[in-house]
C-alpha cells in the first residue's frame, strides 16, 4: 500500500478534537486528562494555600469499599483515572513528619464532563509542647494569617463546588475570593485553570499572568499559561513560558508535553520530538498522548514506520481511549 502523508493528515482533520483529545488543563496542570469515563485531579495545599512540597499518600474510597492508592508529586498534585461516574471520598494521609491532620473530601465524578477538580487543605495539628521536626519549618499558622478568613471561605467554597461538578458556581466563588484578597495566588491560578477548562482563554490568561506577577517562581501558573497559549496557537510565546516552567520543574511530564506542542507549532520538529519523548519517559502511560503526538510528527516527516510504531504503542497504553477507533483507522492505513 502506498503511503501519502497528506491523506493521513486529512483523516486527522476529519475527527474534531483528535489532536488535543487528552490535552486540556485544570488547576492541576501537571497531568493530561484521562480518556476514561471520569477522573479526579487534586491539589493538596498547606493552610495558607501554597502547594505541599512533598509526596503524601492519597486513598480513593467508594461506598462498596473498593479503593485505589496514589501519591502526590512534589507540587502536591495527584490524579486518579479510569473512574466510573459516582460519589467518591478522597483521603489524604498525614505527612511523614506528622504535622497535619488526616484530611478527606467527598467528590462527585460525572461521566464525560472532563476531570473533576478538587483542592484539599491540610490542617496543622494542635499539640501543646510539640516540637517541630525541623527548625526550617515555617509556622503555618502565621502563614495562614496572610489570607483573610473571608477569602479563605470563598476559596473553600469554590473547591467544594468544583468537586461537585459545579464549575460556573466555583468560578464565581474564586472571583469573590480574589476581590477580597487580590494577592491570593492559588485562587488566581485555579480561576485561570477553570476558565481554561471553559475555553475562555483570554480571561484565563489574565488570571494566570496575575498569579505569575505575585510569584514568578510559581510553577503551576507558568504551566497553565503555557497551555493557554498553546490552545490559542501562540506557539512562540508558549515556548518561552514553558521553558520557564521547565526551569522550575524539569521533571514535569506535562511541561514537556506542551513544550513539544509549542515546538512543533513553530516548526521545530526535532525539539518537539525530544519533548514528547521526555513527557512519556517521565510520565509513563498516563502520558500516552505524547505517543500520539509523536506519531503525527513522524507522519508529517513521511516516516511511516515510526508513525505506525507510535500509534500502536499509544493504543497498547490507552486501549479504551475515546479516539481509539480513529487511531485504529490510521494504523490500518499505515500498514
Of 210, 236, 212, 233, nearest in space to 222 by CA: 212
Asked if residue 136 has pLDDT above 60, the reply is: no
**What phi, psi does 106 have (nearest 5°)?**
-85, 135
Alpha-carbon dihedral angle through residues 215, 218, 222, 223, given to the nearest 10 degrees: -160
Nearest residue to 221 via CA among 253, 198, 179, 255: 255
pLDDT averaged over the chain? Answer: 78
The per-residue pLDDT for range 324-333, each reduced to its tens digit, is 888 898 899 8
Of the listed ranges 93-97, 122-126, 211-215, 234-238, the least confidently predicted one is: 93-97
Give the per-residue pLDDT at 31. Answer: 42
Report residue 33's pLDDT band, with 50, 70 and 90 as the boundaries.
very low
Look up cell 499509544; give the residue.
314
Distance CA 112, CA 145 (A): 39
pLDDT of residue 227: 93
What is the pLDDT, as a whole number, of residue 228? Answer: 96
At 26, the pLDDT band (50, 70, 90 cuts) reads very low
Residue 18 phi, psi dihedral angles, 5° rounding: -65, -45
Mean pLDDT of 279-303: 90
pTM score, two decimals?
0.65
Domains and CATH numbers, the chain: 38-121 (2.60.40.10), 148-215 (1.25.40.10), 244-316 (1.25.40.10)
* pLDDT confidence band for 74 (50 / 70 / 90): low
Contacts of 14 (CB under 8 A, 6+ apart): none
Which pLDDT score is estimated for 208?
96
Amino acid at each position: 500500500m502506498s503511503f501519502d502523508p497528506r491523506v493521513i493528515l486529512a483523516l486527522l482533520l476529519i475527527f474534531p478534537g483528535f489532536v488535543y483529545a487528552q490535552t486540556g488543563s485544570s488547576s492541576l496542570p501537571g497531568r493530561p486528562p484521562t480518556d476514561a469515563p471520569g477522573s479526579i485531579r487534586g491539589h493538596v495545599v498547606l493552610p495558607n494555600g501554597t502547594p505541599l512540597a512533598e509526596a503524601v499518600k492519597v486513598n480513593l474510597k467508594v461506598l462498596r469499599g473498593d479503593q485505589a492508592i496514589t501519591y502526590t508529586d512534589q507540587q502536591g498534585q495527584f490524579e486518579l483515572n479510569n473512574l466510573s461516574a459516582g460519589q467518591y471520598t478522597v483521603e489524604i494521609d498525614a505527612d511523614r513528619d506528622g504535622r497535619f491532620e488526616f484530611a478527606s473530601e467527598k467528590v462527585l465524578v460525572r461521566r464525560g464532563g472532563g476531570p473533576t477538580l478538587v483542592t484539599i487543605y491540610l490542617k496543622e495539628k494542635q499539640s501543646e509542647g510539640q516540637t517541630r521536626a525541623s527548625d526550617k519549618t515555617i509556622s503555618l499558622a502565621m502563614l495562614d494569617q496572610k489570607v483573610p478568613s473571608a477569602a479563605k471561605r470563598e476559596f473553600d467554597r469554590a473547591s467544594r463546588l468544583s468537586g461537585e461538578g459545579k464549575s460556573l458556581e466555583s468560578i464565581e466563588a474564586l472571583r469573590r475570593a480574589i476581590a477580597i484578597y487580590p494577592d491570593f495566588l492559588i485562587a488566581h491560578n485555579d480561576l485561570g485553570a477553570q476558565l481554561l477548562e471553559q475555553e475562555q482563554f483570554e480571561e484565563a490568561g489574565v488570571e494566570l499572568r496575575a498569579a505569575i506577577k505575585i510569584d514568578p517562581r510559581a510553577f503551576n501558573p507558568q504551566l497553565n499559561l503555557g497551555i493557554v497559549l498553546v490552545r490559542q496557537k501562540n506557539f512562540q510565546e508558549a515556548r518561552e513560558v514553558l521553558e520557564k516552567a521547565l526551569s522550575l520543574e524539569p521533571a514535569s511530564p506535562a511541561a514537556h508535553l506542551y513544550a513539544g506542542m509549542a515546538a512543533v507549532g513553530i516548526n521545530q520538529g526535532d525539539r518537539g520530538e525530544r519533548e514528547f519523548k521526555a513527557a512519556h519517559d517521565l510520565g509513563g502511560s498516563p502520558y500516552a498522548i505524547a505517543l500520539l503526538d509523536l506519531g503525527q510528527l513522524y507522519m508529517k516527516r513521511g516516516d511511516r514506520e515510526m508513525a505506525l510504531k507510535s500509534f500502536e504503542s499509544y493504543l497498547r497504553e490507552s486501549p479504551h481511549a475515546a479516539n481509539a477507533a480513529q487511531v485504529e483507522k490510521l494504523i490500518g492505513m499505515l500498514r
